[in-house]
Amino acid sequence: MKKIGLGIIGLGYIGKVHLRNSLKLTDANLVAVSDISKRSLNEAKKDGAKKTYTSYEKLLKDPQVDAVVIALPTHLHFECAKRAAEAKKHILLEKPIARNVAEAEEIVSAAQRNAVRLMIGYPLRFNKVMIPVKEQIKSGFLGDVEVAHAINVGSGPFYHRAQDYAPSPVPEWWFKKELTGGGALIDLGSHMINLFRWYFGEITDIKSHLGYRFNLDLEDHAICIAQFESGTTGVINVGWFSQKYQVKVELFGTVEHVIASNIPPNRMIAAAQMLIMNNSTFWQPHVAELGYFVNCIANDIQPSPSGKDGLKDLEAIESAYKNPIQLNS
């Protein structure tokens, strides 16, 4: 069976994770990478990328590339995803699908028009602790889930970055609303909204309270209350304000409660895993996600979470932004 030719567009933080993971796949070949940074391209070449391009347009013209992973800043998703679809490349597009619903609709429609598969990167959907929760809901083990909490709190873009021992600044696009479409809600909330939509079905109503501890023009934390078609009320709590990382869901059913937490391994264990396996268990969902995407392309299956899922998540987020809950401070 022919291996899927993969291209990675964007070698920022998450692009490098995809690069590392793509080299582990048995049914795909990493054909090419593109980035504007020559330094990142040289590193990628050393890591095993066969071809490097300074523009994604050139990568999209490469006939050996069947599918692309788009790991660019959010404001570049629209143009890049449309062009990838027009070049007949299947697409794994990092979340959020776009800055706004209008752009997301265009991306979905471009993928449909060109008959290419479009998947949105939501690694929690491939997380070993989050998947059994879906089974517990489906099997009735929890009874009816009345209330569900989702937490995704960390340092967000303030995560301390370094390259070759030299600290590097947070890319400035993170701080511009016109480039991101929003703050913690669109960045981290998209993960949790997608996960809860997978668990509980469509959102029928959503409101949000936004917080601004760091005086940014966009929110650094958000609490959403959402009503799902299953009858579950979800509280989604996301933030960029903490040095401590936590991703957790708590479901309270009429019969049972369940807590699922994505805990990163401690640094010593992670370092040992990196030394032995060139990967850490923390990145397992990303490995599974990319493997699933390749499998969908190889077997002509519509991936899930799809582009339409990404669009629905963004519709919910836009609705949350438009329905604020005001609290007196």
Partner 1 sequence: MSLVSFVKVNHTNHDQLKQAIVDSLNLIHYRPPSKLENIVIKPNMCYYWDYSTGQTTDPRLVAALIEILREKTSPEIGISIVESDASAMKCKYAFKFLGYEKLSQKYNVRLVNLSEDKSDPVEVTAGGQSFSFMVPRIIQNADLKINVTKIKYSLQKIKITCALKNIFGCNPYPKKFRYHPKIDEAIVAINKAMKFDLCIVDGNIVSGIQPCRLGLVMASRDPVAVDVAAAKIAGENPNRIRFIRLASVEGLGKTSFISKGVPIGYFQARYPRKNAQKKLMSKAYNIVTSIGLGKRLGLE
Nearer to partner 1, 63 or 167 (CB): 167
Q: How far is the CB of 268 from partner 1 (least distance, A)?
A: 8
User: Which residues lie across from 92 on neighbouring strands?
Assistant: 69, 119
Q: How far is the CB of 271 from partner 1 (least distance, A)?
A: 4
Q: Specify the amino acid at residue 212.
A: Y
Nearer to partner 1, 255 or 272 (CB): 272
C-alpha distance from residue 77 to each of 53, 73, 239 (Å) = 18, 7, 23
Nearer to partner 1, 1 or 275 (CB): 275
**At CB < 8 A and 24+ separation, what contacts does 209-217 make?**
209/324, 209/325, 209/326, 209/327, 210/183, 210/185, 210/321, 210/324, 211/239, 211/241, 213/241, 214/240, 214/241, 216/175, 216/183, 217/175, 217/176, 217/177
**What residue ranges bind partner 1 (CB under 8 A)?**
158, 160-170, 172, 175, 213-216, 243, 267-268, 270-271, 274-275, 280
Q: How far is the CB of 261 from partner 1 (least distance, A)?
A: 21
Nearer to partner 1, 216 or 235 (CB): 216
User: Which residues lie across from 30 on neighbouring strands?
Assistant: 6
Q: How far is the CB of 317 from partner 1 (least distance, A)?
A: 23
User: Which residues lie across from 96 on neighbouring strands?
Assistant: none
Rounded CA-CA distance 99/115 in Å is 23
Nearer to partner 1, 141 or 173 (CB): 173
Q: How far is the CB of 219 from partner 1 (least distance, A)?
A: 13
Q: How far is the CB of 159 from partner 1 (least distance, A)?
A: 10
133-170 CB burial, b ≥16 within 10 A, e <16: beebbeeeebeebeebbbbbbbbbbeeeeeeeeeeeee
Nearer to partner 1, 227 or 242 (CB): 242
